[in-house]
Structure 1
């Protein structure tokens, strides 16, 4: 066995039309990224000012959470105008400038389309609620009460309580899977689908490189409005909603994830394919069937390019056995699915805190993310190792956290301002009091401090992303022979011409693994990849890993 140490193996890149396959996407939450005008709220110009930083990470694309016109009851996920920028974030010209500068830096821009629902301030809803005989009377999900005046069925809102809100104008209930101010659109109405496809076309024509599609499996509801069955206690899962939320008491068979959705996704994909090199990333919110739905939605080349479920966004830590379980389920339910993995985002506690990881563990997890089959999403500040911020109740903004406090503190702890400067009063985010308080603990890990330290986690992330791009097998190859032996997870990545052996010790006890037969070259030494001995044995201490590559043929 020939065990050598080399920095990388030269590799061809994935075709431009498939940049998304194995690509790395950096999520920006615009309210909290960079304030350019001193009002305490991040904006589009602020993002533009920081594009060179994002580009320096080596990522392929930036996903920007909603910046459309909105009353901001759910911070932009309640859209009142799909074709304009909310003044809080700037102007349409600001967005065009951001798009141009991102493209000049080689960054693709994906925007967050919220199609399942609108704000109750959207002109469509205002017209729809005005009566039962106007042109948009059926653009939202309206239903008569039961004979006793109660809602038409037992569906629940993720944000608490019934998913039905009484409207006195029509004397009917309307459906809202989220806030009462977020009425659900009726996708069974063809005119609604056409209007939303026109929205997507508007942004594609402007030059955006794709969409992150919010709550993609919530688009359609059961036409018969059948009540959801109860979910056994043993199957309740807090990945979509906190356990204190009765939403977890139901099996959501009828309120979402309906089969009619597939035809709409194919319409959306066909529209996207009219434009070169674009991609759609869907968010699948389903605690019981997320991987199965991911497979359905990404199957073949007529639906979504990629989707992500919540398996690695849960409170449950990634162990070797759990990772194998997830990929085994994915293989059995949807072998050709293309996943996009995330450990953190704007809706869950940051994984450094959620899983109780120290820096050594964070370093391993960054390399694991870049080694798994699928695309990858990084959430702003993840590359700094930021922990969840502690936001006191009096500073909370998130209605979700306010509703379920103190058992569930909401999403503000992962949405606090990005930390740029260690010594600045507001960590370089704004010259004014930020909309959420800056975390002093996070500020100690600010970008400027890490930039000046070659061994900082920020540089480790850059190296991990660069390693992924250096090896086509890591970026888009098959994933084979996944094994969980104690705390050690191992697998092969293979693209036909290159094979990479990956082993990760996801625990604190020493583990051991043996390289397969062949001439292997240890890669990723600058990331901490552990070398094998002359016989191919690798001893992995706590949170250590080994990556080795070989040519085939």
Structure 2
């Protein structure tokens, strides 16, 4: 297996300096089980790092691996300073980090700083003495009245933002589930604990953090004096972390407008933000079969957030959240991509997986190519490079959280356990199940989705297709997004109709990668990477 990841002796601090930059999200619990207990672990992930590197991955993002009851896929953290023993221990993590670094890959870990679980030692201490220093770690109220704009993140599942704690005799604030009490970012002791937690993991050897719910950490919690100046907070955090590791990478996750997110990348506070704006515009563009929503979003983003500070995705780990679209736009997208009510969630999202939602297969391949072509850094979640499916019989957000499909053996090679509780029923019997969709089947198939991922990665690096410097071209076809950078032109037809393009490519033009493209006509869902 060829390792196409950038071979480096260490990260130099240039977040998007590699033209082949690729972030790969990896949920340890669902990736590979080495000890046969039915749950993925660090040892299993370490065994498969050659595969990860073969995709051209430069950054691995590890989803939460902390001790947790995993009521919210590990985001209900019981202890920020430990590895869940089901995944391994600190030595297993250090081994994973060392092996990733040897292959030229850096590692981000999820930093869940907005809240804890209700089993966390911080919360247990706060409950016993809410008026003490420990109590000030959280947000308390004598009543559960809700201020305007203070809304739950999961309407229909948990419709409150205040939960009563009988031992404390008060209500505590929770933006997410009731078992996830919000931390009080205004408290200086909380800030010091955040610094201590992140410093600990830097000392272990991680290269940076994906800061979960970044803006929610500092936003008000429905009571006076609970909001923090985000610029000052993150300036201070960055400065303190640089005392531990000068080139620490910080990535912000926040589903907000570019104008609100822009402050996060000012003055180097964060290397990048995860770009929900472009994602929502991409879904609208595909709904309409027209490039204009993407063109408009790119212009808006270019005015606020530099391309090398944008992390792009087609589908994230849970639902596809379309809250940045207008009500009418969202309705359009729902009718196109999620016509059955069972496919919807929270009134703003789609529960389907990328491959099932984007059918036909030609559109799946085109959207994969488009992700790599968009200005910014692409993000894949493990399994998306294979075209894994979903399971709408699973309630809530977990419908698209599949275990990795390595081969066609029992449980897809994910585990040797008798039972695999995390493997979804549709992975066994469905059209995207592991018997048909798996790494082994696609390894030697030049027409597979996996082969396309590897080819695009090689083309991007060979052609110097870095995150920034792209301009939109008018090629006389409203359905086509055309982007040019130096001597490279990318073309993506978002519609199911072939179109003839108004192009003068010159005699030396050569397609480094193309599907349904003859040099003038771009077929339905066709795409091309052309040297000009």
**Equivalence map 1:124-273=2 (5 Å):** 124-145=122-143, 150-151=144-145, 153=147, 155-159=150-154, 160-222=158-220, 225=223, 260-273=229-242
The corresponding residue for 1:251 is none
Q: Please, which of 107, 114, 119 is the counterpart of residue 116 of structure 1? A: 114
Q: Please, which of 359, 371, 374 is the counterpart of residue 369 of structure 1? A: 371
Q: In structure 2, how many angstroms separate the alpha carbons of the residues matched to 1:364 and 1:29? A: 25
- Given that 2:16 and 2:308 are in contact with CA atoms closer than 8 Å, whether structure 1 keeps it comes out as no
SS of the residue 1:382 aligns to: coil
SS of the residue 1:548 aligns to: strand
Q: Please, which of 268, 292, 300 is the counterpart of residue 329 of structure 1? A: 300
The corresponding residue for 2:456 is 464
Q: TM-score, normalised by structure 1?
A: 0.80
- Given that 2:65 and 2:74 are in contact with CA atoms closer than 8 Å, whether structure 1 keeps it comes out as yes
Q: In structure 1, how many angstroms separate the alpha carbons of the residues matched to 2:516 and 2:468? A: 20
The answer to whether the aligner puts 1:543 opposite 2:525 as a matched pair is yes
The corresponding residue for 2:515 is 528
SS of the residue 1:82 aligns to: coil
Give ranges in structure 1 of 5+ residues lacking alignment.
Answer: 1-13, 227-253, 402-409, 533-537
More displaced stretch, 161-170 vs 434-443:
434-443
The corresponding residue for 2:399 is 413
The corresponding residue for 1:345 is 316
Deviation at 1:513, TM superposition (A): 2.4
Deviation at 1:330, TM superposition (A): 1.5
- Given that 1:33 and 1:47 are in contact with CA atoms closer than 8 Å, whether structure 2 keeps it comes out as yes
Q: In structure 1, how many angstroms separate the alpha carbons of the residues matched to 2:189 and 2:92? A: 31
Q: 1:510 to 1:259 in 2, by over 3 A?
A: farther
Q: In structure 2, how many angstroms separate the alpha carbons of the residues matched to 1:336 and 1:524? A: 23
SS of the residue 1:157 aligns to: coil
- Given that 2:210 and 2:251 are in contact with CA atoms closer than 8 Å, whether structure 1 keeps it comes out as yes
Q: 1:384 to 1:317 in 2, by over 3 A?
A: farther
SS of the residue 1:17 aligns to: coil
The corresponding residue for 1:450 is 442
The corresponding residue for 1:425 is 410
Q: Please, which of 361, 377, 380 is the counterpart of residue 378 of structure 1? A: 380
Q: 1:182 to 1:17 in 2, by over 3 A?
A: same
Deviation at 1:174, TM superposition (A): 0.8
- Given that 1:197 and 1:268 are in contact with CA atoms closer than 8 Å, whether structure 2 keeps it comes out as yes
- Given that 1:68 and 1:80 are in contact with CA atoms closer than 8 Å, whether structure 2 keeps it comes out as yes
The corresponding residue for 2:14 is 18
Deviation at 1:225, TM superposition (A): 2.2
Deviation at 1:312, TM superposition (A): 5.2
The corresponding residue for 1:233 is none
The answer to whether the aligner puts 1:296 opposite 2:263 as a matched pair is yes
The corresponding residue for 1:98 is 96
The one-character-per-residue Cα deviations of 1:142-183 (angstroms, maximum 9, x if unpaired) are 1222xxxx4353533213211111122232211101111100
Q: 1:140 to 1:519 in 2, by over 3 A?
A: farther
- Given that 1:342 and 1:378 are in contact with CA atoms closer than 8 Å, whether structure 2 keeps it comes out as yes
The corresponding residue for 1:11 is none
Q: In structure 1, how many angstroms separate the alpha carbons of the residues matched to 2:211 and 2:63? A: 10
Q: Of the two structures, which has the highest relative contact order with CA contacts closer than 8 Å and spacing of 6 or more?
A: 1
SS of the residue 2:137 aligns to: coil
Deviation at 1:499, TM superposition (A): 3.3
Count of residues in correspondence between the two structures: 472
SS of the residue 1:461 aligns to: helix
SS of the residue 1:281 aligns to: strand
- Given that 1:63 and 1:212 are in contact with CA atoms closer than 8 Å, whether structure 2 keeps it comes out as yes
The answer to whether the aligner puts 1:511 opposite 2:482 as a matched pair is no
- Given that 2:208 and 2:248 are in contact with CA atoms closer than 8 Å, whether structure 1 keeps it comes out as yes
- Given that 2:24 and 2:379 are in contact with CA atoms closer than 8 Å, whether structure 1 keeps it comes out as yes
The corresponding residue for 1:476 is 467
The answer to whether the aligner puts 1:305 opposite 2:271 as a matched pair is yes
The answer to whether the aligner puts 1:435 opposite 2:429 as a matched pair is no
- Given that 1:294 and 1:339 are in contact with CA atoms closer than 8 Å, whether structure 2 keeps it comes out as no
Deviation at 1:94, TM superposition (A): 1.0
Q: CA RMSD in A?
A: 2.6
- Given that 1:505 and 1:545 are in contact with CA atoms closer than 8 Å, whether structure 2 keeps it comes out as yes
Q: In structure 1, how many angstroms separate the alpha carbons of the residues matched to 2:248 and 2:446? A: 35
Deviation at 1:459, TM superposition (A): 0.8
Deviation at 1:259, TM superposition (A): 6.3
Q: 1:449 to 1:334 in 2, by over 3 A?
A: closer
